[in-house]
Amino acid sequence: MILTPKADEVIRFFEELGFEKCHAPTVDTGRSLVTSTQMKDADGHSIDIAGVESMERDMQIIRMNVDDFDEAYAMLTAKGFIHNGGGKPVETAANKSALMISPSGFAFDLCQHIKT
């Protein structure tokens, strides 16, 4: 996943590489509205590009999909990860997520997709 204040430019770049938009939900994080555009290429490779206007520069993160958000959150915090921005995780009808930063600086988008 790429977090960027210039999502339109990054999306155009990946379109030039052969990726197509799949969907682009907008989520209220409690601090800002974030549109996360999922893109795929013909071989099934995917990338998410999240437009975050408040960021000064791009940031690359790894999305960690889990079945039990609370269990994974507890494990990561026990290992010293912090929830960027603190507060509650972002919850929608489709998922629950939190940006988790490691003690050394790499980041996960901890995400549980809600199965209906």
Residues 60-93 have pLDDT tens digits of: 999 899 999 999 999 999 999 999 877 789 888 8
Kindly tell me if the per-residue pLDDT of 103 is higher than 80: yes
Kindly tell me if the per-residue pLDDT of 99 is higher than 90: yes
State residue 28's pLDDT score: 74
Token couple for 58? 């791009």
Q: What is the CA radius of gyration of the chain?
A: 14
> Using CA atoms, how far apart are residues 19 and 35, in angstroms rounded to an integer?
17
State residue 23's pLDDT score: 84
Overall average pLDDT of the 91-113 stretch: 91
Instruction: Evaluate whether 2 touches 47 at the Cβ level (below 8 Å).
Output: yes
Pick the more confident residue, 23 or 111: 111
Share the mean pLDDT of the chain.
90
Phi, psi of 76 (to 5 degrees): -65, -45
From the list 83, 84, 65, 60, the residue with the least C-alpha distance to 3 is: 60
> Using CA atoms, how far apart are residues 8 and 47, in angstroms rounded to an integer?
14
